[in-house]
Amino acid sequence: MKPGVPLTADFANGGVSFWFRQTGTPARRAPLPGDRDYDVAIVGGGYTGLWTAYYLKKADPGLRVAVLEREFAGFGASGRNGGWLSAEFAGSRKRHAKARGRQAMIDLQREMFRTVDEVIEVTRDEGIDADLHKGGVMHVATNPAQRRRLRAETAELRAWGYGEDDVRPLDRDEQRERLQVAGTLEATYSPHCARIQPAKLALGLARAVVELGVDVFEDTTVTAILPRRGGGRAAAVTTRGTVRADYVIRATEGFTASLDGQHRQWLPMNSSMIVTEPLPAEVWKHIGWSGSELLGDQAHAYIYAQRTADDRIAIGGRGVPYRYGSRTDHRGATQASTVALLWRMLVKLFPAAADARVQHAWCGVLGVPRDWCSTVHLDHATGLGWAGGYVGSGVTTTNLAGRTLRDLVLRRDTELTALPWVGRQVRQWEPEPLRWTGVQLIYALYRAADRHENDRGTTTSAYARLADLISGR
């Protein structure tokens, strides 16, 4: 570990996330016992797969539904994220609007607002204690260039369905009253966000779907997903047998590249986190944060943070964003340099926490489509469907995906199936080594842009504009 980062005696790097360290790693459910037939087979036991199974069984209890998971439910990004139940939606609004018009994108944004409350309602109905608190989200600007972007983003949100009650600038007094973030020049607030403990939500959802009669098979690796052929059924081929179903739903997000034929579909992007030990009351007197708002900044290599239910600070951001050949780190460890970077950012934003020690560091993998826009789709001809490419905004979007896939599977023509992210076709990522070279260049440019803006820039750096051009965001 890098010198200068204070660590607790029981500091851990990788393995499961801190969230699962809190709850304890669950006992694994039985694997697939051999070839089986279902109405719907879902590949992936994260939020997307669990929400889809939940809503399908709620709508039609007679459906035979199976979830196939390589590790245990919630092992991936669903149990490793920053705990933002946020109405923020990934991707270009203009790009989504091209599909079905401007109003359709506004409808999508309004549905995201409602989805935050839908998740809260389900946790209440199912008795899921996920440390959930709807305190909203603050975005801060800590240099003049960030301030310009924050103002421009607020104006853009106004044009895409955000009213005065959905996002607003904070005056200096309210910003300080809510949360003391050192160096803040300007801040905005939106009420459409809640803190969660990600592992608790995943564990609660898995319990709920099992109680509804869904078969959740863990320790079951799916190697290929096959469409219907010659009047047969779609299939999920696993190391323990083949599951045939009327519909097979791919809900593998950042692990999609591990499936045959999907290597270039979504890029597995790594995001890293650290969490401190619980902070004493004296520190919180200086920081505030009594409303448990979520916190983000306007940097290009941005951070995301929360005050946990047991008074820690959990903060995350990009470390090494991509590994050659779409590989993923099974252990979930993050680099010492990334731990040090996140620690320096934590102390920069919260000087009062400078003496707090780091208790856990970890990373997770999220899925990034080539156009950085999330999609949900079902093809009735092949029996194949999917949802994902959330680009780090998946905690809420997975719920919307689950409800939308329910309607698609059941052939319901609803407001959800008319939203512009449904049925979008996205080209694949470039082959290696172009893919690796491009991602490394993009994030090198973003980091250079942040350094330039922190030093002397008053407008968005040309480095960032070039990175946006290369990335196609």
Chain segment 251-262, per-residue pLDDT in tens: 999 999 889 989
Residue 318's pLDDT is 73
pLDDT classification of 186: cutoffs 50, 70, 90 = very high
pLDDT at 388 over 70: yes
pLDDT digits (tens, 9 = 90+) for 116-148: 999 999 999 999 999 999 999 999 999 999 999
The two structure tokens encoding residue 285: 């007197």
- In this prediction the pTM is 0.96
Residue 263's pLDDT is 87
- Whether 225 contacts 234, CB under 8 Å: yes
pLDDT classification of 230: cutoffs 50, 70, 90 = confident
pLDDT digits (tens, 9 = 90+) for 291-333: 999 999 999 989 999 999 999 999 999 777 788 888 877 678 8
Burial class (CB in 10 A: 0-12, 13-18, 19+), 302: middle
pLDDT at 425 over 60: yes
pLDDT mean over 266-291: 96
d(CA 235, CA 308): 41
Q: Over the chain, what is the mean pLDDT?
A: 94
**Beta bridge partners of residue 339, listed in sequence order:** none
As a whole-number percent, the residues of the chain with pLDDT over 90 amount to 86
pLDDT mean over 411-427: 95
Q: Name the helix (H) or strand (E) containing 223.
A: strand 222-226
**Does residue 216 sit in helix, strand or coil?**
strand
pLDDT at 407 over 90: yes
Strands (DSSP E) contained in 62-185 are 65-68, 84-86, 137-141, 168-170
pLDDT classification of 426: cutoffs 50, 70, 90 = confident
Residue 147's pLDDT is 97
The two structure tokens encoding residue 38: 């279902």
Residue 1's pLDDT is 53
247, 395, 427 from 66: Cα distances, Å: 11, 22, 29
**CA angle 436-442-448, nearest 5°?**
135
Residue 321's pLDDT is 79
Residue 458's pLDDT is 87
pLDDT digits (tens, 9 = 90+) for 90-114: 888 999 998 899 999 999 999 999 9
Residue 3's pLDDT is 56
Residue 330's pLDDT is 65
The two structure tokens encoding residue 381: 């001809």
d(CA 146, CA 159): 20
